[in-house]
Amino acid sequence: MPLGFNLEAGSSGDILPIIKWDAKAGDLLRQDRFQASDGTWQKDEQELSLPIQMAMDLGAIEVGWLSFASGAPDFQMAKITEPFPEQPSQDHKQAFRVRVATKDLGLREFSHSAKTVLRALDGLFRQYEAEAPAHMGKVPVVTISGTETIKINSPQGELRFKVPEWSITEWIDRPKVMDGGAAAPSEPAPAAVSQPPAAAEPTGANLF
């Protein structure tokens, strides 16, 4: 596997707003933190409609281990060019972390530790490795077109999970936001409003 994951059954970085993938429901969610009127910090989650495109900094992806045993995410990661780190504890699961960005989402972090999603990411990274030499200095635009259902047999019976159906559909100049530009605003996103379909499919050229 090019990302170094062991997919057989059986570093903290900057704090950024995140997007999440629900591997059971097959939902892509944006999560924003905001300060309520009483001064407490709250989280707001909203589903992102598919298909969706985003610039994904696969050249700087991190791999390693993730645990939520303490109640907060504990990342122990390394760059893809560095040796895969040792597992810190039995509570830590293999994981990846990568930065993504669009004009509407700003700069965000996307991570996961489910093996079904790691396998899907591994396939996406193979495409990146094959195409990157012809696109030096650029970053890939990843299109998530839908979901794929994965069935796994377990002692409890058949389990079903959903992974993103994604691929690199374009390469663009590296967005400034990926090198320290403004991140997403720390406030809830406006509620989604139904609109008629767009006249044309979005392209990487209008992501920023």
SS3 label, residue 136: coil
pLDDT of residue 115: 94
Q: Please state the pTM of the whole predicted model.
A: 0.80
* pLDDT per position as a tens digit, 144-196: 999 999 999 988 889 999 999 999 999 999 999 998 755 444 455 555 444 44
Residue 141 has pLDDT above 80, yes or no: yes
Calculate mean pLDDT across residues 105-114: 96
CA distance 125 to 131: 10
* pLDDT per position as a tens digit, 114-125: 999 999 999 999
Closest CA to 189 of 38, 53, 30, 52: 30
Q: What residue spans define the domains of the chain?
A: 18-178
Any idea what DSSP says for residue 130?
H
